[in-house]
Amino acid sequence: MDSKDRYQRGLEKLREIDGEAGERVLRSLEDIAPDFARYLIEFPFGDIYSRPGLDLKSREIAVVAALTALGNAAPQLKVHIQAALNVGVGRTEIVETIMQMAVYAGFPAALNGLFAAKEVFAQGEMQAQA
């Protein structure tokens, strides 16, 4: 498998999961680190997200949990909360996943995650009303 196949597969997976939000991240890197944008497509999405062992819902629940536990990745967490919604994870599942992280990552990390989710949910409601 050559890198062009990895890139194309990754780009298709990114669009399936993140839609416009993923495209914005790539565009934001064009003027500073275009190679890094390519790496983001090829490895996480072309290699990992495209594997058959987990469905996209399970993968996004895991990512929401991991980013919540980190406690310092709010922009990425918001993108992946929206991605989780895009692939069929419900709001309750997202909230419960974030709350579960209080046990392992502490209350501050869980609070940050809940506030990120609240913001993403509110943006979705505003877009639905528009």
Same domain, 11 and 60: no
Choose between 124 and 28: higher pLDDT. Answer: 28
Q: How confident is the model at residue 128 (pLDDT cuts 50, 70, 90)?
A: confident
Residue 66 is part of which domain span? Answer: 54-130
- Write down the residue that tokens 């929401």 correspond to: 64
Q: How far is residue 54's CA from residue 14's CA, in Å, rounded to a whole number?
A: 16
Same domain, 77 and 117: yes
Structural domain count, the chain: 2
Q: How far is residue 97's CA from residue 93's CA, in Å, rounded to a whole number?
A: 6
Q: pTM (2 decimals)?
A: 0.90
> What's 55-68 look like in SS3?
CHHHHHHHHHHHHH
Length of the chain: 130
Q: How far is residue 23's CA from residue 74's CA, in Å, rounded to a whole number?
A: 18
Q: Helix 56-70 vs helix 3-18: angle between axes, to the nearest 10 degrees?
A: 80
- At 2-54, the pLDDT tens digits run 667 999 999 999 999 988 888 888 999 999 999 999 999 999 999 999 999 99
Q: How far is residue 123's CA from residue 83's CA, in Å, rounded to a whole number?
A: 13
Same domain, 48 and 81: no
Same domain, 44 and 1: yes
- At 61-112, the pLDDT tens digits run 999 999 999 999 999 999 999 999 999 999 999 999 999 999 999 999 999 9
Same domain, 97 and 41: no
Asked if 91 and 85 touch (Cβ cutoff 8 Å), the reply is yes
**Sequence letter at residue 77:** L
Please report the pLDDT score of residue 3 as a whole number: 66
Please report the pLDDT score of residue 23 as a whole number: 85
Spell out the alpha helix ranges (H) of the chain: 3-18, 20-29, 34-40, 56-70, 74-86, 91-105, 107-129
